[in-house]
Structure 1
Amino acid sequence: MHLRLVSGVVASILLSAGAPFVLGDGALRLWTEALLILTMAQMWNLLAGYAGLVSFGHQVFVAAGAYALFLAAEALNVSPYWVLPLAPLAAAFLAALVALPLFRLRDAYFSIGIWVFSEIVATLVTKSSLTGATAGLPLKTSSLMDLDWFEPTLFWIASVQALAATAGLLLLMRSEFGLGIMSVRDNDVAAMSVGVDVQRNRLIVFVISAAGCGAAGAVNFLSNLYLSPASAFDVSWVVNMMFIVVIGGIGTLEGPIIGTLLFFALREIVTGQLGLSGGWYLVALGSVAVGTMLWSPRGLWPALSARWGLRFMSVERKAPRLALQDKPNND
C-alpha cells in the first residue's frame, strides 16, 4: 500500500508541475476549480462517510476561510499568498467553537443544526461593515501578486490541497485513529465499550473537515479577487459536495474522485457542448443522481469495484449508511 501511495503521489506531483505549461488558461481554471471541489468533497466525505456526521452547513467553513484570507491580507497589506495558512486555521477555530453544542444533536438534528448555524453566521456577515456587508469585499492587495503566474500558482496550490486531502485521508483511515472513527460511525456504544473516546474523535474529524473546506474556499475566492456573502454562504457548496460523494461512493476515497469527474463532465457537456441553460444542467445532475441511487445505492465506485475487482485505495470496512433517522442518544 505504501509503495502504491508513494508512486501515486510522485505521479500526481509530476503531472501537476507540468500541467500549466501544457494547458491553456481556460482548461487550467477548470482543473483548478475541480481540484478545489474535490478537496471539499473529500473533507465532507471524511465527516459523513467515515465519522457518520452528515453536514448540511459546511458552506460556513468555506466562507470562514475566504473571509479570513481577504481580511488578513487587507489588514496586513501583504500578498494573499502569505496569509493563506490563516484560512484553514480560521475555519478550524470556528468548527471547534461550535462543535460541542452541535454534538449534543444526533443525526437529522445535527444536520439541520449546522445548517441553521451557517445561516446565522451568514446573517451576521451581511450586517457587518467589517466584512463589506451585502456588497462584499474586493481583494485590495491583488496588486502585490504576480498576475503573470496567477493561474499556474492557483492550480499548483489547488493540486497540493487535493493531493493532501486524498493521501492524508487514506493514511488517516488506515491508522488506529481511523479505525476508531469508523467504529464510532458503525456503533458508537460498542466503540465506547472498547475505550474509544467518541466525542474527542468526532471533534478531531470535524475540525479537520472544516479546515480543509476553509483552505479550498479561500483559494476559490482568491481566484475571483472578490468575495460576497451570497456566493460564500451559497448552499450550492454543500449540495455539490453531497452530490459528488454520494454518487461516487460515500465512505470511499475513490468515490469523490469519480464523482468530481462526473460532476464537471456533465456541467461542461450540458452548458458548454450542448449550449443549454443552467436549468438543464441541474436536470442532468438530478437524473444521474436518481439513476445511480436506483442502480447502486452505495455509489458508482463500490459497484464498479465489485464488478471488476478493483481495489486501489479504499479502506475495506462495512459500507456506511447515509441515514438521517433518529436514534437514541447514548453518548
Structure 2
Amino acid sequence: MTVVSSNTLSGGMRVERWTRLSRIAVWIAVLLLVALALVPGIFGAGSVDRMTALFVYVLLAAMWNALAGYGGLVSVGQQVFFGLGAYFTVKLADKGIDPFVAIVVSGLVVAAFSYLLSFPMLRLQGGEFAIGMWVVSALTHLLVNLDGLIQGETGTSLISLNAYDAGSRRAIIYWMALAAMAGVLTALFLLLRSRTGTAIQAIRDNEDAARALGVKVMGTKRILFVLAAFGIGLAGALWLASAVSFQPKTYFSVQWTAYMIFMVLVGGLGTFEGAILGALIFFVIETWFGGLGVWYLIGLGLVALIFALFLPRGLWGAIESRFGISLMPVGYRLSIPPNISRQGE
C-alpha cells in the first residue's frame, strides 16, 4: 500500500495523514487480530461466546457511526437491517443452504434490499429520514410476522446448525464474526480515506455546498447507506447463529438502534476509534451489570445523558481534541513545528 505521509509547507509546517503513532497502532491492530483468532483454542465456551458478542457490537457501533457521524444520516430504524439479516439467514437455511453460507449471503441480500430502499429514503432529510427509517422497520417487522415459516411472534430456530457439534459451531461463528468485523472496518476505513470519503463528509457538513462543488450527493450517500446496512445485516445473522432462535420482536426491536446510539455517543460520534471504544465500554457495562434487568437499562440511559451533557464529543473525541491523538486517521492534520508554536505564544 502506497502512503503519502505528509506535504511540507512554508515554515516547516506539514499536512499529515499517517503519523508514527498511527502506523504503530495499525501494526498492533493486525497483531491483535491474529491473537484473537487463537481464542477458541485457548479459552472456554463462555469466553468465546462473549467475544463473539463484542465483535457484533463493534460492527453495530461502527456502522451507525459511519452513517450518522460521517454521513450525517441519523437513523432510529437501523434495526430493520439487523432483523432482516437474521430473517434471511433462516429463510436461506430452510431452502437447504448451509447455515454458515446463509449468513454471508443474507448480508448481501440485505445490502441489495438497502440499495432499493435508498432511493425513496435518501430523499428525506434530518428528522424525516430518522422517523422514516423507524416506520420502515416497523412495517418490515409486520411483514416478516406474516411468513408461515416464522409463525408470527412465536418465531423459529436455525435448526440446520445442529448438523455441527457445539464446539465446532461455536468456533466457526466466532471466526466469522471476527472476520466480518475486521473486513467491514477495513472497508469503511479505506472508503473514508478515499475521495468518496471526503465527499461523504462534505455532504454531512453542507449538502448544498458539496453539490455545488460537483459532488454526486445521492450516489455518494447511497454507498454509505448500503455499506452500513450490509454490516448491520451481517451482525444480525451472526447474532442469530449464536442465539439460534429467531423471534421477530427481538430482532426488530428499537433497542438495537438504541444500543448503537449509546455506543457511538459514549465513544465519540464521527471518530473511527470512538465507535470501537464505545462498543468496548458497552460490552463491559453489559457484562458486569446486564443481569440487573430494568436497572441496567436505566443505568445505560443515565450514562448516555451524562456523556451528552459533559462530554458531547464522546470519550475518544475528548481525548483527540485534548491530546491530538489519532490512531486510525481518515482525514488530514496540520503539524506545526514547536518553534512556530512558541512564537505564536
TM-score by length of 1: 0.89
* Unpaired stretches in structure 2, ≥5 consecutive residues: 1-17, 334-345
Aligned mates of 2:63, 2:248 — CA distance in 1: 22
Partner of 2:341: none
Partner of 1:321: none
SS at match of 2:148: coil
Aligned mates of 1:264, 1:290 — CA distance in 2: 18
Pair 1:308–1:23, CA change in 2 (3 A): farther
Q: How does 1:241-252 map to 2 (within 5 A)?
A: 241-252=260-271
1:157 maps to a residue whose letter is M
Q: How does 1:1-331 map to 2 (within 5 A)?
A: 1=18, 3-4=23-24, 7-76=27-96, 78-271=97-290, 277-316=292-331
Higher mean C-alpha deviation, range 230-239 or range 133-142: 133-142
Do the aligned residues in 2 keep the contact of 1:9 with 1:163 (CA within 8 Å)?
no
1:301 maps to a residue whose letter is W
How far 1:280 moved relative to its partner? 1.6
Partner of 1:329: none
SS at match of 1:293: helix
How far 1:223 moved relative to its partner? 1.1
Pair 1:134–1:271, CA change in 2 (3 A): closer
How far 1:240 moved relative to its partner? 0.4
Higher mean C-alpha deviation, range 57-66 or range 84-93: 84-93
1:313 maps to a residue whose letter is M
SS at match of 1:128: coil
How far 1:45 moved relative to its partner? 0.9
Aligned mates of 1:236, 1:148 — CA distance in 2: 30
Task: Give the structure with higher Rg (CA).
Answer: 2
Pair 1:5–1:90, CA change in 2 (3 A): farther
Aligned mates of 1:171, 1:222 — CA distance in 2: 28
SS at match of 2:118: helix
Q: Which runs of 4+ in 1 moved over 3 A?
A: 1-6
Partner of 2:5: none
Do the aligned residues in 2 keep the contact of 1:138 with 1:225 (CA within 8 Å)?
yes
Which digits, 9 at most, give the CA deviation of each residue in 1:258-303, with x for residues without a partner?
A: 111111212222246xxxx212212221221122122221111011
Aligned mates of 1:106, 1:261 — CA distance in 2: 31
Higher mean C-alpha deviation, range 124-133 or range 170-179: 124-133
Pair 1:314–1:280, CA change in 2 (3 A): farther
Do the aligned residues in 1 keep the contact of 2:263 with 2:278 (CA within 8 Å)?
yes
How far 1:165 moved relative to its partner? 2.5
How far 1:317 moved relative to its partner? 7.3
Aligned mates of 2:36, 2:289 — CA distance in 1: 27
Identity of aligned residues (%): 35
How far 1:185 moved relative to its partner? 0.6
Partner of 1:322: none
Do the aligned residues in 2 keep the contact of 1:57 with 1:115 (CA within 8 Å)?
yes
Do the aligned residues in 2 keep the contact of 1:79 with 1:145 (CA within 8 Å)?
no
How far 1:14 moved relative to its partner? 1.2
Aligned mates of 2:23, 2:273 — CA distance in 1: 18
* Unpaired stretches in structure 1, ≥5 consecutive residues: 319-331
Do the aligned residues in 1 keep the contact of 2:149 with 2:156 (CA within 8 Å)?
no
Do the aligned residues in 1 keep the contact of 2:37 with 2:178 (CA within 8 Å)?
no
Aligned mates of 2:150, 2:78 — CA distance in 1: 19
TM-score by length of 2: 0.86
Aligned mates of 1:198, 1:114 — CA distance in 2: 19
Do the aligned residues in 2 keep the contact of 1:87 with 1:214 (CA within 8 Å)?
yes
Aligned mates of 2:279, 2:26 — CA distance in 1: 23
Which digits, 9 at most, give the CA deviation of each residue in 1:97-138, with x for residues without a partner?
A: 221111221100100001001100101111221433222121
Aligned residues: 313
SS at match of 1:10: helix
